[in-house]
Copies of this chain bind each other. A is one copy, B any other.
Amino acid sequence: MHLLIVGGSDAGISAALRARELDSAATITVLLADSFPNYSICGLPFYLSGETPDWHQLAHRTEFQGIEILREHRATFIDVENNSVFVRSADKSKVFPFDRLVIATGAVPVEPPIAGLRSPGVFLLHTMEDSFRVHEHLSEHNPESAVIIGAGYIGMEMADALTHRGLNVTVVSRPHTVLSTVDSQLGEVLRQEIVNRGVTVHTGVEVSSIYPGDGKLKLQSKTGSELTTDMVIVATGVRPSSELASAGGIETGARGAIRVNRKMETNVPGIYAAGDCAETWHRVLEDYTYLPLGTTSHKEGRVAGENAVGGVRVFAGSVGTQVVKVFDLAIARTGLLESEAHVATFDPFTFETLAWDHKAYYPGARELKIRITGDRSSGRLLGAQMVGHWKSEISKRIDIFAAALFHEMTVEALNDLDLSYTPPLSSPWDPVQTGAQAWSRALSLNQATRELKHV
């Protein structure tokens, strides 16, 4: 049995490792378009900040026992009729036959419609090679200032990274908020943090052109405002890299991602897709969506690898859990925002609470902001968001919500969870639970007010 995997990042390598673990007889080959198998691209901002001095450290692993890894092998066509993949390597073409195929081609950066996007000193940041170019530019040109276009996860991390490196940083965002993946109330906390750290933030601004002049780069917005800077990072999101699959007749779905079922199988039997190139089953929405995240890529890859060697594993689904650290803040979310819940025809109610990360009498207590969204009629938990100091266990507290979402718990049932407590680390009711209690009280008040209005 020959398992062929196109792509050697999170999903591809996870598929290979899982297949290897379960099937000692299969031949497993991974085709890499570049030379960097299983690198942590989530770590690129820390390499560029200087916190991770050597890019080699970014490798999730360097040993791939029993797995053939072919670097600089770019797949050019999938022939689904003849179970084979055409590959270009060192200017030669080869054909790789397969019994089972996993497509894990990842995502590519969205290129916004900005004139001059190819100017020297303007960088898209997604791959290892992108980051080498940025690193080289930083080292050789010693820029004093940078503009980051985009205020999502990468934009925010790069604002931190380049400030850490000593640059004057300006963030330009088309939406009127930063980090629009969380509610604006929490985005505002993040904006305050980065402004306090010296970052200039322009929201509601759409850059139309970038052109070089006087050894600088000049950015012009649609409304005519101008910015001058030494370098530009464009981080306006990603889209699935699914052209290879669709050219071969493999169907695509949500936002152009490769259509899969819960076994991560495409419309072509024996051909699987996983990671940022594929659709993701969303457990709360109960629908396929496009949600490219490293954690999901690992899970989907593992499921695809298991099924490709004869397993019957079903991907349990994402609940949309995400966290980012920016300067001293961590911001996390899981499940749905109120706006997303409305679209999904829930009847959401959201309430925000402040809670100490541990008993205030023990030194170092800090406040967390917790926003809980639940369904009014069923009481079901739909989502949670949290912001606070990055050492306040926000990341693993959002995971308690994530586990609750996984099991379709109600907000009130969060109080039944037996969570750990010692005064330096929590409270007898964890903030997750005081947030839940506050949500229930607020909902009762809100319903009572609604009823009063109807009298």
Contact = CB atoms under 8 A, between A and B. Distances in A.
Given A359-B43, A419-B399, A419-B402, A390 B21 contact: no
Contact of A420 (B43, B298, B334, B426): B334
A395 B425 contact: yes
A324 B402 contact: no
B418 A296 contact: yes
A441 interface: yes
Nearest to A361: B57
A88 interface: no
Interface string A384-415: 00000011010111111011111100000101
A295 interface: yes
A396 B397 CA distance: 6
A316 B418 CA distance: 9
A10 interface: yes
Contacts of A362: 43, 46, 51-52
A33 interface: no
Copies, count: 2
Considering residues A299, A391, A424, which has the most beta carbons from chain B within 10 angstroms of its beta carbon? Answer: A424
A417 B298 CA distance: 12
Interface string A78-110: 000000000000000000000000000000000
A205 B324 CA distance: 49
A189 interface: no
Given A396-B396, A400-B403, A423 B42 contact: yes
Contacts of A361: 40, 43, 46, 52, 57-58
Contacts of A163: none
A175 B4 CA distance: 56
Given A58-B361, A395-B393, A299 B423 contact: no
Given A361-B43, A400-B396, A424-B390, A416 B10 contact: no
7 contacts: A57-B360, A295-B421, A298-B428, A325-B424, A390-B424, A393-B396, A396-B400
User: Which 10 A-B pairs give the minimum distances between C-beta atoms?
Assistant: A396-B396, A316-B416, A403-B403, A57-B361, A323-B420, A395-B425, A52-B361, A393-B396, A321-B418, A319-B418
Interface of A: 10, 21, 40, 42-43, 46, 51-52, 57-58, 60, 283, 293-299, 302, 316-325, 330, 332, 334, 359-363, 390-391, 393, 395-400, 402-407, 413, 415-426, 428-430, 441
Given A51-B363, A325-B422, A395-B422, 10 more contacts: A43-B362, A46-B423, A60-B428, A293-B421, A296-B418, A395-B420, A396-B430, A399-B400, A405-B418, A406-B417
